[in-house]
């Protein structure tokens, strides 16, 4: 029998990497067709959009997936249908609210930021937020029923629409010489196109594969209460980091101006938002796949009181370490080369932004742990814990960002360090609580140590090969070859160290 968890993780991981890779590549032509001011307007509008759609893009799907998985575990088909029907109605209302807020307050926010030309981007993103909300209910349902190929394809179609149609609009508008604010809005239009296409796909797949779905709601109030009981803490937790992105886009810019970097503040902030974050997001795609795959499996085992739960927890945490450490160390070790590879026409910016990317790279290690342990805690009905832990991390981030950015020699690097510290604290607290509830096995500890050794060997090998071939091969070819060496070395270490084996997946108890 095929292992359902391994299959879902593989499908979502590959689709997620493809989505993020397309997104990162998308930034390259955007940087060519958009001026630095247009890039700044584009970058300042997105955090506000992200915090308003966080409920529809992450929280609602997670809640629906959990309730749907519980209904399946107890063989309650009526509840399964009710969850989707109620959530669709709620998301129609929420989509209208987010659209009105983004459009209605666009002038106030853009003026307060000091860049009123960014308001056009808010208009476009406001409309996009409505359609993102409509799609959320379907994605959560697909996740809960573990039809994650449908979940993944809907994400891929959204990204393809965003890239090709959004880039087309940028090319068209940039040739009209009508102002950077409109060019930035053209860039954000991809979010609208992608959301509409993805929503249409989700509707068509649901009609095809769930023909026996009943649209009559038997208990609207009861199901709505269940949704809000879980949604509120999850939504608060999911909103914290987007809120901190707004802080990065406002307080960070103000703080940079305070230390005398008035003219360079917006450009320095783009080192995080435009040049580093998309690269970090490529790595984070794998962890999102792990998060989405873990939640319904852990929920089902916890609901049924399955003996497989402890093994599922240990493997989930171990996978986050096995995947997170090499990605984080790789970006840390080759940050400058990666940026020069992607932005060959912006050498000075690539070199200046390299320190920010290297610090952000290390944060991936702790982000991966936080994501995996959050899904585990949500699955065992401890969904308030990750919220509290991330809130504590957020406080650490705000304080450390204010202090570090104020040091002129550190400046924008301080914002990156603050993100690293936030995830370190949140992941550490999550991990402590998980293993206070479910004790780790000796085998898990042993495999964790072997993973650490494998990563040290990997990064030393890659850096050594790059230094040896420096000047003998073009930088780009040298970088690709060194990465290939790192992958082979790490794969060999993991395989012969038996860190992750076929038996680990066979013992999960999830088969199809």
Cα dihedral 51, 52, 54, 57 in deg (nearest 10) = -140
DSSP one-letter code for 473: B
Q: For each of the chain's 512 residues, which pLDDT tens digit applies? A: 356 677 777 787 788 778 877 876 776 777 778 777 787 777 778 777 877 777 777 788 888 888 888 888 888 888 888 888 898 999 999 899 989 998 998 888 888 877 788 888 889 999 999 999 999 999 989 988 888 889 889 989 998 988 889 888 888 887 776 788 888 888 888 889 999 999 999 999 999 888 777 777 777 888 888 888 888 887 777 777 666 666 666 778 778 888 877 777 777 877 887 788 878 877 777 777 787 788 888 888 888 888 888 888 888 899 999 999 999 999 999 999 999 998 888 888 888 889 999 999 999 999 999 989 998 998 888 888 988 998 899 889 888 888 898 888 888 888 899 989 999 999 999 999 998 888 888 888 899 999 999 999 999 999 999 999 988 899 999 999 999 999 999 999 999 999 988 887 776 655 45
Listed in sequence order, the residues at least 6 apart from 93 whose beta carbon sits closer than 8 Å to its beta carbon are none
Angle at 454 between CA 450 and CA 457, to 5 degrees: 140
Q: How far is CA 189 from CA 85, 114, 135, in A?
A: 29, 22, 17
B/e letters for 447-472, b = 16+ CB within 10 Å, e = fewer, are bbebbeebbeebbebbbebbeebeee
Q: Which of 103, 101, 87 is nearest to 135 (CA)?
A: 87
Q: Which of 198, 214, 241, 209 is nearest to 54 (CA)?
A: 241
Angle at 36 between CA 41 and CA 27, to 5 degrees: 80
Give the DSSP letter string of 134-201: HHHHHHHHHHHTT-HHHHHHHHHHHHHIIIIIHHHHHHHHHTTT--HHHHHHHHHHHHHHHHHHHHHH
Neighbours of 407 (CB within 10 A): 11
Cβ atoms of residues 152 and 76 within 8 Å: no
Among all chains, which residue has been given the structure tokens 């370190």?
A: 424
Note the pTM of the prediction, 2 decimals.
0.77
Cα dihedral 388, 394, 400, 402 in deg (nearest 10) = -140
Q: Which of 115, 93, 92, 97 is nearest to 46 (CA)?
A: 115
CA-atom Rg of the chain in angstroms? 23
Helices of type H across 176-308 = 180-209, 220-258, 265-270, 277-304
- The three-class DSSP label of residue 45 is helix
């Amino acid at each position: 029998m095929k292992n359902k968890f391994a299959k879902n993780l593989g499908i979502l991981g590959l689709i997620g990497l493809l989505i993020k890779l397309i997104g990162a590549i998308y930034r390259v032509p955007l940087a060519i067709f958009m001026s630095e001011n247009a890039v700044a307007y584009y970058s300042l509008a997105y955090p506000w959009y992200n915090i308003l759609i966080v409920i529809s893009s992450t929280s609602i799907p997670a809640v629906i997936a959990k309730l749907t998985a519980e209904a399946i575990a107890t063989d309650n088909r009526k509840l399964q249908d009710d969850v989707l029907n109620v959530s669709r109605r709620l998301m129609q209302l929420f989509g209208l609210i987010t659209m009105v807020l983004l459009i209605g307050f666009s002038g106030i926010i853009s003026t307060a930021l000091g860049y009123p030309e960014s308001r056009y981007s808010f208009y476009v993103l406001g409309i996009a937020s409505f359609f993102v909300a409509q799609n959320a209910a379907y994605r959560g349902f697909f996740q809960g029923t573990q039809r994650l190929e449908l979940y993944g394809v809907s994400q891929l179609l959204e990204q393809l629409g965003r890239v090709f149609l959004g880039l087309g609009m940028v090319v068209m508008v940039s040739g009209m010489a009508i102002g950077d604010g409109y060019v930035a809005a053209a860039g954000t239009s991809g979010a609208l196109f992608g959301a509409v296409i993805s929503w249409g796909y989700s509707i068509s797949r649901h009609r095809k594969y769930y023909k026996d779905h009943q649209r009559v709601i038997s208990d609207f109030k009861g199901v709505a209460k269940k949704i809000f009981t879980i949604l509120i803490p999850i939504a608060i937790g999911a909103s914290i980091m987007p809120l901190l992105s707004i802080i990065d886009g406002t307080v960070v810019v103000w703080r940079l101006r305070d230390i005398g970097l008035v003219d360079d503040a917006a450009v320095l902030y783009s080192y995080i938002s435009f040049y580093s974050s998309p690269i970090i997001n490529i790595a984070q795609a794998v962890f999102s796949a792990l998060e989405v795959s873990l939640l319904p499996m852990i929920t089902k085992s916890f609901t049924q009181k399955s003996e497989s739960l402890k093994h599922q927890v240990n493997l989930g945490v171990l996978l986050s370490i096995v995947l997170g450490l090499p990605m984080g160390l790789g970006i840390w070790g080759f940050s400058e080369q990666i940026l020069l590879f992607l932005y060959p026409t912006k050498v000075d910016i690539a070199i200046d932004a390299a320190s920010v990317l290297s610090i952000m790279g290390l944060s991936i290690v702790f982000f991966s742990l936080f994501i995996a342990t959050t899904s585990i805690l949500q699955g065992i009905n401890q969904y308030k814990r990750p919220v509290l832990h991330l809130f504590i991390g957020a406080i650490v981030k705000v304080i450390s960002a204010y202090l570090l950015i104020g040091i002129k020699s550190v400046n924008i690097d301080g914002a990156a360090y603050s993100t690293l510290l936030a995830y370190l604290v949140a992941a550490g607290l999550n991990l402590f609580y998980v293993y206070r509830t479910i004790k780790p096995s000796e085998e898990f500890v042993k495999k964790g140590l072997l993973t650490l050794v494998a990563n040290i060997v990997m990064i030393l090998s890659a850096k050594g090969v790059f230094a040896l071939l420096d000047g003998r091969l073009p930088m780009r070819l040298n970088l690709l070859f060194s990465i290939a060496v790192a992958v082979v070395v790490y794969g060999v270490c993991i395989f012969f160290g038996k860190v992750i084996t076929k038996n680990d997946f066979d013992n999960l108890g999830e088969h199809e």
